[in-house]
Structure formats: structure tokens, C-alpha cells
Amino acid sequence: MTTGKIIKALAGFYYVLHDGDVYQCRGRGNFRKKKVTPLVGDNVEFKADNQEEGYILSIDNRKNEFVRPPIANVDQALIVTSAVKPDFNALLLDRFLVLVEAKRIEPFIVISKMDQLTDGEVKEMESYKAMYEKIGYSVILSSVNDPSSMDQVQSHLSGRTTVIAGQSGVGKSSLLNSIDPRLSIDTDDISESLGRGKHTTRHVELYEISGGLVADTPGFSSLEFGDLELDQLPECFPEFVEVQNDCKFRGCLHNKEPKCAVKAGVEDGTISQQRYDHYVHFLEEIQNRKPRY
């Protein structure tokens, strides 16, 4: 038996990386009986007589997993948001950050297409960068034709399994192609009429890039907080976690409760009003979610 990592799942086959070689495998029938589906990112034991005919025998315990995109054992999320085309959207960025934080995955943020901005717009993006860095996030202002920003992105990738998240058209595939031109991942021009890109990535696949594994995924197709409970949401805002012990009530939701340290932080300017507004928006969304049976 040999150990490896699934780097691609396609048409019932699982492609397992072991010592630099990739083996095409099928899952054993007992996975179906147990209702277990091997995922890209799984660490597995497999048996293969050659690189075309192998079988996955067992799957190691996962440290985390996503349903959409279907991937497991992610170390960090590279959240790509564009400055323009589509325009920067702080609400959407915070939604991605919450989804990633809920899985206890470390995010870092890349704001792309900086070369297409006016000086005034650059200053606005720099102020967002400062705000998110104050919270503790790494933020890179990038252009695919700016080698220094590409070097910064690469330095985050080494030795880790990274998933890329972001809406269509923000330049996720272009970013990967710029870092490693051998990839030649399909990119489509922005659809001007829609103001967003077409979905060009069809399946989840891990690529060896800059000494790490990077998943270019078909996006987070569901951005709903389906599994997130009300009491988990405050834990997804690091700046709230920092002060929550000073709230009068344990389990404070930082909304209508009196003597709330988070609301005090908003009032004195140490916590972003915009981030807090987004938090309340998400809180109401979870409260109004239809129950599932």
C-alpha cells in the first residue's frame, strides 16, 4: 500500500500524487456503501500496479472540508477580489471571509487589477488594505504585470494547500497563470453586459505551484450561510473576538444587547462601522433563514 494525495477528481476517477508521479485510481465499492466520497485534498492509501490502474483503499481523517467546492484539508484561502471590473465589493469580501473563518481556515486577501485605477481609486484600495491589516489579515494589492506583487503571492503558497476563492471575473485564473505560465488555465474576457466573467473553471484540481498545492476551483457556488449558526457568526470576525470578553453578557450577539464591547468599539472607531454593518446584515440573514428538515 502507498500513501498519496488526491489532486483531481474527474468522471469517477481520482488522480493521486505520490513522489512526484500521478496515479489514476478508482474508489473502492465500500466507500459507496458507507456514503463516503473521496475529495480533492484527501490524504489516502492506495494500491496501483501501474499509473493507469489503481484503487483507493482508505481515506485519512480530514481536518476540514468544503461541500462547494468539494475539497478537503485546506491550509489557507487566497481570497481574490478585483478593484474594478467587477468593482470592489466589501460586503462580498466579508462574506467570503466569514465562510473561510467558519472552517477555521486562514485567509489572505489579494485585491487585483490595481493597474487599472486612477490615483484616487488607488488611495481608496490602500485604505481598505490598512483596515483589513489592522484586523490581522494579510492583504496584497496586485497587478499581473507587477512582479513584486506576484512574488508576495508566491511567498504565501510555499508548503501549504491553498484554495482560491472569489467571484467570477476577478482574475483568479489570470493570477495563477502569471505565477506559473505552464498552467495555461482557461480565462475568458469579462462579459461587459453582465459586468462579470463567465465560469471558466470546470472542476477542482490541485496544481503544484511555488512549492505548495493550489486549488483553482469552480468558485464557491453557494455563498449562503447554510451551516453557520447564530452563535458562530461573531467568532468569524477576529476584531470582535478580541474584545468579546468585555461584553456584559456571555454569548453576546453584539446587536441589541446593552453594554456590548463590540458596539462600544464601533462608537469609538476601533472597529470598522462598515464591517459591523455587514455583520448585522449577515446576522439578520441567518435569523431569517428558513429551517431545514
Type of residue numbered 24:
Q
CATH class of 230-287: mainly alpha
CATH class of 71-216: alpha beta
User: What tens-digit pLDDT sequence spans the chain (293 residues)?
Assistant: 899 999 999 988 999 999 989 999 999 878 888 888 999 999 999 999 999 999 999 999 999 888 777 889 999 999 999 999 999 999 999 999 999 999 889 999 999 999 999 999 999 999 999 999 999 999 999 988 888 998 999 999 999 999 888 887 887 778 888 888 776 665 443 333 333 344 444 678 898 888 999 986 665 555 777 788 999 999 999 999 999 999 999 999 999 999 999 999 999 999 999 999 999 999 999 999 876 65
Q: Where in the chain are the domains?
A: 2-60, 71-216, 230-287
258-287 as b/e, with b when 16 or more CB fall inside 10 Å? eebbbbebbeeeebbeebbebbeebbeebe
Long-range contacts of 184-188 (CB under 8 A, 24+ apart): 185/216
Q: Residues 72, 41: contact at Cβ < 8 Å?
A: yes
Q: Residues 162, 214: contact at Cβ < 8 Å?
A: yes
Domains 2-60 and 230-287 share a fold: no
CATH homologous superfamily of 2-60 equals Nucleic acid-binding proteins (2.40.50.140)
